Chain A
């Protein structure tokens, strides 16, 4: 079942340079679900979340001080649903800030973990990969900044124009979500259950993650297209007609946006995995089909018992990530057995292992195993071309 964005009304987008922000408005907030109070304990003014609320959620990679006794900050690992009054912390990864990071983000500000390790975490989460490796990786990334791999994710701040676009965006009354387009490519969809939650999280989108594609589109700075179609004035005889025409045009825009612009957000052939279930709310992660050269979004949703989306956060994968996802998907299909996966891909084990390494998953394989494959590959070097199959071990850009 693909999640439905029912109850969310698409409003006209606001354009700034190459960035288009399309607001999603709810008539009524989703009852009984709010952002975890931790989000509001920080300088954001205290918001009354009401007594009826009994489930709260913590978004993925959300940094806060989770336990009272211990003052270290942690990034939540995967979105979680929590009982309202529980003090129990969600599973989190400790974050040790280097001075550079702390200065940038301010001491206690509500923020997302501003590194691509959140994506790494995402991928690992989605495929049930090793958590420990992720923590290892995150520690490395926190200590040394961005990863040395060729393919990276970018902070919203680095996407040119996004910061300004978010700053000057005029939030609609009742707005609970936004779709971010850069160069008219859907970069991310973000939906929360309540307008106050949205207001609290709107500025944090600049610290969210965006793929390479989005970064490059931002850099190119091609202005977003003008999608407004002028009203045909031949049919209009009165102000009433004009009003009707304007309303019709609004409906047309909403239909066009949902069908065409955001049409590939939920992949029909993708998969979906329920992670948690609490008081009628269902937290699930969705994965695309990893079809190459197409839009692929991964993300998390919380749906209520009617199947309506209460929370949604998506990330558009860049081409290299799609390739990596494709590899992981194939491996997962064959129970992580290299031999079987290699056979399915029409290659041998050693090639697949090296391909994994090039894709940045070298840490999944034991060093000695990898070395053995490398040696084997070198021994079977193609005599006709004389070209070694792995040009620069571990630093390759292409994974597929």
Chain B
């Protein structure tokens, strides 16, 4: 291998950034405040943009979270002039594709951010124009994100035609709109019945204006809610005696569902055991898809220590990821052993408490003789500290060098970490010989396990570049 030292550093830097971009949302974590997270993350972005701009852009094709995708898009556009036209074009394609995949409220936030930064180059205007032109239902957007759409239109000097322009800039100059949703919005100002034809977030404002009682409002607006709004409002709606608001748990994404389950009290979880575990299993099977049952014998060490509590902003997020991973691995494996750090065995009743004896659990896990060992933890091994690293080191150097299971077949050990460590600019690692990857949604687990082989140091920069290019090409190709 003709790897230079610089290549190794580059490889490490990019992986570090990918881990950060997957896990950190700039929100408060269990150990670090939001400010520390943001500061640390902003620095990483600047560093990547300055040193590895091509790979920085290509990261848009990976499963990084929307917060970081938005920062990347912004940074690339702010510093668009630094690179020549060809590169700008390819960056533009990546940005456009990423914006398509992002939730629209986040895209509008990016546009507003660009406006705030005073970025108004031709590329930016073209990107906004193209994205706005690609909206399926511009009228709906104009109603739901009225102020944001207005800002974007102003900023990109778009020429709107017909009712949309009137609606945004002179809404009451029109006696009656022809577009139904504009008309309902106009009527909702004085007619209660029209409120219920609007998107939930818009209707909420009108409901307050008309002083509609909460339960009546929730009952009637229920068909207009998105599925996540329904999930979010389910509990408070029941408190307000609006029984109609019911989320269909069967169609929820896995990690989101796990978060919901963990938000319930232990008694409620026990009472609804059948319903909840069925929903979780269904979601996991949907994620596993064709790979179901193809992973062989899997053992997982799952962290439910007190630090899995997350923070006020990311409530029980690390634990939710662990719980979702549990169900996903159950679906992927033929033989599956879960080991929670607290020693609990009932996964539906997990709650974050106690210390993190990762080392002991890893010994337990290795004793089950798995083909794959997955560790989902924030990496703060503290009972005792450093034992997990020792165990993994001894396992790799003394106990498993001959590949005990079968010759040439190592036990595959991967550590997935849902928490970004602001001090280290990376997710916290367990041991040098074991790859660590950041994880935000358990749904990405199979892809991350794939990416983790780079972190193990067996594959170099060239391969990493090839992998990123391949992902970017596929990402752009999906559009067709």
Contacts and interface: CB of A to CB of B under 8 A. Distances in A.
Interface stretch (A167-175, A293-301, A330-338): A167-175
Contacts of B386: 226, 228, 230
B393 A242 contact: no
B307 A246 contact: no
A242 B354 contact: no
Contacts of B399: 236-239, 242
Nearest to B367: A239
Interface stretch (B126-134, B168-176, B355-363): B355-363
A14 B382 contact: yes
Given A168-B307, A170-B306, A243-B363, A253 B384 contact: yes
Interface in A126-174: 164, 168-173
Contacts of A170: 305-307, 354-356, 382-383
B394 interface: yes
Contacts of B472: none
B390 interface: yes
A12 B384 contact: yes
Interface residues of A, number: 29
A204 interface: no
A11 interface: yes
Given A15-B385, A170-B354, A239-B363, A233 B397 contact: yes
A236 B383 contact: no
B384 A236 contact: no
Interface residues of B, number: 29
B48 interface: no
Interface in B336-379: 342, 353-356, 359-360, 363, 366-367
Contact of B383 (A164, A168, A172): A172
A104 B363 CA distance: 46
Nearest to A164: B31
B195 to A, nearest CB: 40
A37 interface: no
B394 A168 contact: no
A168 B419 CA distance: 14
From A16, A228, A239, A250, residue with most partner B Cβ within 10 Å:
A239
A109 interface: no
A376 interface: no
B391 interface: yes
Contacts of A233: 393-394, 397-398
Interface of B: 30-31, 305-307, 342, 353-356, 359-360, 363, 366-367, 382-387, 390-391, 393-395, 397-399
Given A170-B307, A226-B386, 10 more contacts: A12-B382, A12-B385, A13-B385, A14-B382, A168-B30, A226-B385, A233-B393, A237-B399, A242-B394, A246-B390
8 pairs of A and B residues whose beta carbons are closest in the complex: A12-B384, A228-B386, A170-B306, A170-B355, A233-B394, A231-B390, A14-B382, A233-B398
